[in-house]
Structure 1
Amino acid sequence: MSSVEQRVIEQFQEEHRQTRDKCLELSDAIEEGDLDRAETLVEEINEAAGPHFQYEEDALYPALIPFFGEEKVKELVAEHDEAIEAAETLAELTSQESLTEEERQEALRALPNIMVHVSDCDGLTVYLEKADEEVFEEIEQSMEEANSRGLTLTEYDETARPSPEEIVA
């Protein structure tokens, strides 16, 4: 494995680990009724997920088409849609002064839509390892550009996110 391949995979997996940990902390904060902590965690997830989703959709997902085909990649994009919707729901709920039991349950039901992305997406590295080094260079460049732009998940979704057809084109 080349150094660029190793860097890309390590960064990709580390970002998933960080999101996993924040999601688990968020679940605990919601369970405990600590909305200040929950709101902070949702903001952190929103900030971290924006660049992550951007480079996945710009470079990583297109690189997976030879392995899975266009329809599966569109399904991965649909998972992003679900994660974005969950993040928006969580942001709305955790910004409140308090939650009713129904709202607390709604927040806890939304959270797995982010968490499932972490587990499903991280497994893609097994296939990505078979890609050419040029693919890794493109992904690394996209990672750097996305991190430089620093769009939150919400900003990315509202301003720069391509359609599923553009991702697989």
Structure 2
Amino acid sequence: MRWAVFDSPIGALSVAADEAGVCRVHFGRTDGVAGAAPADPVLDVALAELRAYFAGELSRFTVPLSVRRGSEFERAVWRRMTRIPYGQTETYGAVAAALGDRQAARAVGVACNRNPIPVIVPCHRIVGAGGKLVGFGGGLPRKRHLLELEAAVALRQAWS
């Protein structure tokens, strides 16, 4: 794995890539990674897209991803996350129902917590019943920031 660090408005994000694509995003600096890695095509795209996302200029990531872990259910949840439109949210229960098991809301939460590529695979778009802001591996202030960023950009796009 190759790593680079992106200093974002929600703090440092350590981004890892393997031969197939981005395989990990970690909140904070990963030990031994000081900053940007030497030129790496996948990491270059990932960092450029993260820069554009936080500037409100990108609403859909296109960088290739490499997901090699997770149960079949977790992978289904992660795929579902990528289908939640930018600037919108779904509840854990709605995601569970969309995957065919209305009783699996807690399991959806566990899958969100195990998401290896947060921000790019937008687990922050999944909220509690009634839109309540709950659960996020990066902490609720980061989740709030991401949702507020997307809501403001989506509003600006809708009104322009």
* Higher alpha-carbon Rg: 1
Larger RCO (alpha carbons 8 Å, 6+ apart) = 1
| TM superposition score normalised by structure 1 | 0.26
> Which structure shows the higher strand fraction?
2
| TM superposition score normalised by structure 2 | 0.27
